[in-house]
Each structure stands twice: as C-alpha cells, then as structure tokens.
Amino acid sequence: MQLKVQPIDIKVGKYKVILNTIDAKELGVNEGDRVRIKNHETLTAIVDFTEDMISPGMIGLYHEVKEAMQKEWTETIEVFPAERPMSTYIIKKVMDGKKLTKEEIDTLVRDIVEENLSEIELAAFLTSTYINDMTDDETEWLTRAMIETGDKLEFDTHLIMDKHSIGGVPGNKISLLIVPIVAANGLVIPKTSSRAITGAGGTADLMEILAPVEFDADEIKKMTEKVGGVLVWGGATNIAPADDKLIKVEYPLSIDPHCQMLASIMAKKGAIGATHVVMDIPTGPGTKIPNVQEGRKLARDLINLGDRLGMDVDCALTYGASPVGRTVGPALEVIEALKVLENFDGPNSLIEKSASLAGMLLEMGGVAARDQGYDLAIETLKNGKALEKFKQIIEIQGGNPNVTHKDIPVGEFTKDILAPTNGYILELDNKRLVQIARIAGAPNDKGAGLVLHKKLGEPIKEGDKLFTIYAEKEAKLNTAFQNANAKPPFIAEGMLLERIQSFKEI
C-alpha cells in the first residue's frame, strides 16, 4: 500500500508507526503487528491504530522511524505487512517454561537492542523469567549476548578493577571515595554509574555536580588511561544497551527477575573489560536483600557467573538498615564525600564502608597484602593521595579540579524535623527518607535533600533536631515538611505511633 508520510515528532523508544483503522484493515494488520517499509530492509515498525489522528491514505511516523529514514526521505512510502520477529516465538517458549538455546538468546537480545519488540512482548519475557528463573547456562548466555550487542572497552593492562552496589540504601556515595583511592594506588578503575530512578541520587547525579559525566566508550577509555579512573554515566554509552531497555519495562512492573539482575550487573562489568570486581550487597530491613541468608545466595550466584565470564568477583555483605553517612541528596552527599577527601572528616559509616570495599579491590589488584587493604585505603585518604587523584579525575572529565566542599551550593530553603520525645532512635525507614528527599526535589534539584542529625540507636531529647530538609523551591520544602510530619520516617522510644478513637460521642 502506498501511503503519504506524516511525521510525528514524539519519541517512543521503538520503531513505531500509526495507521488509520481503515488502512490497517485494508493491509490486514492488527494493532501490535509489524509493517515493513520499502527500501528500508532492516526497518520493521510496530503498528498503532487511530480513527482520527491520522487520515486514511496517510501513515504517521514516530521520531525514531523518521530519524532512521532521514537519508532516504520521501513524501510517500510503500508499506506492507511483515512477519513477527522470531523473538516473539522465543518469548512464548519462555512463557511455557521451556529452556532456551544460546542461539535463541542471542536472537532475543539482538531484537531487544534493535527495538523489534513491543513493551508487551518485553513485559511477557520479564514476567516469565521472574516466575521461572533461568538456568546458570541461560544466564551466562544472556549476559554474553548483552555484552556483545553493545560497545566494549579494551585496555592494554590485564587488571581492570570495578565496584558495584546492589542499591537500596540512601546516601551511598562511596564510589566518590573508592574510585580515587583505587586509582591513586596505580590500579585502573573505569567506573560507569547510574542515575537515580527511584532513589534520591545515583553516583552519576552526584558526580555531575563536579564535572560532566556523559561520554562515549572511546572517550571513557582515553580518560581512564590518562588518570587511572573515571566516574561517568553509563547511560550515555552504548555499553550493554539491552539492559537499559529492559529496565524501562521492569520499572512500572516493579519486578527485577533474578537472572536479569545478574546479567544486568555482570554485562556492564564485562563490557568495560573488568577482571576484578567487588560487589556491595547491602542487607537488612528496607533493602533489596532483606537478610544475610539471601545476601549469601546472591553472592554465590554473582561469584559463579563471574567465574563463567572470566572475572574474579568478591562480595561484601554490608549493613543497609541505615543511610551511609548523614546526607541524602546530590549536593549534600558531594559535600560530605569531599570533606572526607579534604580533611578525613566525616561519618564513620561512610569512611569505614568506603575503606573496606576499596581495601578489597587493593588486595585483589595485588597492591596490598591480604588483610592489609583497609589500612592502605585509610592511609590513601589521610595522606591526600586520594584527593589529588580525585582532582585529576574531575579535571579530565572537564570540571574544576580546585573545587572544595565550600563551593557546592545547596538548597536555600530549610526546615527541621524535631524529636517528639526523649529516648533513642529505634528505627529509621530508608524508603521514607528517600521519599521525603524526592518530594523536596532530589535528584533533579541538585541542592535538595536531607541532613540527618540523629541516626539509629542515638539518644534524643524532646525538641532535638532529627533531620533537616533542604530544597531549592519553597513550595517543595513545605510539601516535604508536611509529608515528613504526617508519616515520620523514624520511630523513637516511647513515641506515640497512632491514636485510634472510639466511635462514642464525647
């Protein structure tokens, strides 16, 4: 069928077109079917329907299709039905609980990367693997396919270090300390990080305050080779692109299939050429891993997959029931990290966790003897070598190497949440702390967040400051303040949790 082109400048993340229902009926396609556009042999698009947005005789091309056609743009195009990609049948096989071959997984991942599958089809795949986990072989093949379908970093040195946190703990700014400690001791650590999706600040959100974080794979390689380490946003690269596409579908479903989580983590490590990796697995109430037993199982699975991929993986089960340090939110966390680098001044939880994980990498890289890595990491912080290395990393990424913690602006509007009684902090709700920080504007408003004056187990007196909310906009501050008071993120000894009244009239 010959149809006149109508561009629709909307990004949908897929190759999609929209047809009037009359033309769709004439073509014999249903919503969700594919059509192929003549002279674009590799361009197959998913069909949407409309009765009035697009007139009969026309075809709406969403942004991605329009961009793909720029070199051969015409006023009219010939459109005909196309077969569903083989991956749709592979997904049905997964839904039936059958095992996949390496070739089938390669085909599936390639179709994911090339945008040949709809959100419904991806959701079916993810839901099926959430219910029925993949085997070790399938998970390895999935990981390798995710690595091979994207850009890869290849360094001349045979030791490439990396660190990853499973997440779920607010204020986990430790990469800002670990990367310079490791690089300052002569090891190579090209750290690609994420932005916050549900949190108050990912590592990339924090580092962006100090320097640009968006670079392609070749730029990351060159910068790392010059100074030994970088802190960049992985989403700006084409490293393991299938992972980002799957995460977008996982998020609204609120699922994270075990095999997909393993492949997601290890594909990013494999793509940057990592040979030695430390995994931070926070455990405890409010984290993704609620107890030590589940943490040990995940550690075994990560170590096993790393071994299959030729990586040396060590795992650290860490305490995750309380925030790391006393700040939550990009600018506030950067200030806290810089104080440690500049003056070795900071919360014990931040220093201990950073030095412990950095020490593991130093031992794995052979620059510290067994059980001596922690001491070397602490010494690297105290003698200023980590700070000097961090300045080099900031400068190579295009930031000001002379920045100090005093130069980082924070939200100008603040309010304090006060203790309602005397006693001790018995519980802290990590998820609620993150919610309040996000309501205040984090991570998009870099200066928004929380400063915790009291943490788990610490004594309080009525009227003491528990935490301070920072915001860049007064309206957001007031909303966050009301939210924090309506449902406090802490429980104090002797605190009245709720009043339930009788129905009797007084």
pTM (predicted TM-score)? 0.89
CATH topology of domain 161-236+258-397: Pyrimidine Nucleoside Phosphorylase; Chain A, domain 2 (3.40.1030)
| Helical spans, DSSP H, in 310-429 | 330-343, 348-364, 373-382, 385-396
Q: What is the pLDDT of residues 204-226, one digit of tens each?
A: 999 999 999 999 999 999 999 99
- What is d(CA 222, CA 231) in angstroms, rounded to the nearest whole number? 13
3-state secondary structure of 460: strand
Query: For residue 475, how many other CB atoms are within 10 A of its CB?
Result: 10
Q: Which amino acid is at 25?
A: K
**2-81: which CATH number, 3.30.420.40, 1.10.287.110, 3.90.25.10, 2.40.40.20?**
2.40.40.20
On whether the CB atoms of residues 351 and 358 are closer than 8 A, the answer is no
- Residue 501: predicted pLDDT: 74
- What is d(CA 13, CA 63) in angstroms, rounded to the nearest whole number? 9
Question: What are residue 346's phi and psi, to 5 degrees?
Answer: 180, 175
Strands 34-37, 44-50: pairing kind: antiparallel
Length of the chain equals 506
Peptide bond just before 443 cis, omega within 30 deg: yes
3-state secondary structure of 69: coil
Bridge partners (DSSP) listed for residue 162: 277
| Helical spans, DSSP H, in 231-343 | 241-253, 258-271, 292-309, 330-343
- Residue 113: predicted pLDDT: 93
- Residue 31: predicted pLDDT: 87
- What is d(CA 199, CA 288) in angstroms, rounded to the nearest whole number? 13
Give helix 430-439 / helix 474-486 axis angle, nearest 10°.
150
* E strand segments, 447-504: 449-452, 459-460, 465-471, 490-492
Burial class (CB in 10 A: 0-12, 13-18, 19+), 312: middle
- Residue 492: predicted pLDDT: 83
Query: Is residue 256 flagged as an active site residue?
Result: yes
Does the domain at residues 413-493 carry the CATH identifier 3.90.1170.30? yes
Question: Tokens 């040195």 belong to which residue?
Answer: 157
Residues of the chain with pLDDT under 50: 506
- What is d(CA 40, CA 73) in angstroms, rounded to the nearest whole number? 11
Domain positions in the chain are 2-81, 86-132, 161-236+258-397, 413-493
- Residue 498: predicted pLDDT: 60
Supply 44's token pair.
């197959």
- What is d(CA 6, CA 60) in angstroms, rounded to the nearest whole number? 5
Question: Tokens 């690269």 belong to which residue?
Answer: 237
Binding-site members are 168, 194-199, 203, 264, 288
3-state secondary structure of 212: coil
Contacting residues for 500 by C-beta, under 8 A, at least 6 apart: none
Q: Which of 136, 137, 151, 256 is catalytic?
A: 256
- What is d(CA 498, CA 414) in angstroms, rounded to the nearest whole number? 27
Supply 87's token pair.
């991956």
3-state secondary structure of 317: strand
Supply 273's token pair.
């050429």
Binding-site members for AMP are 168, 194-199, 203, 264, 288
Question: Tokens 């080099």 belong to which residue?
Answer: 392
On whether the CB atoms of residues 29 and 81 are closer than 8 A, the answer is yes
- Residue 503: predicted pLDDT: 64
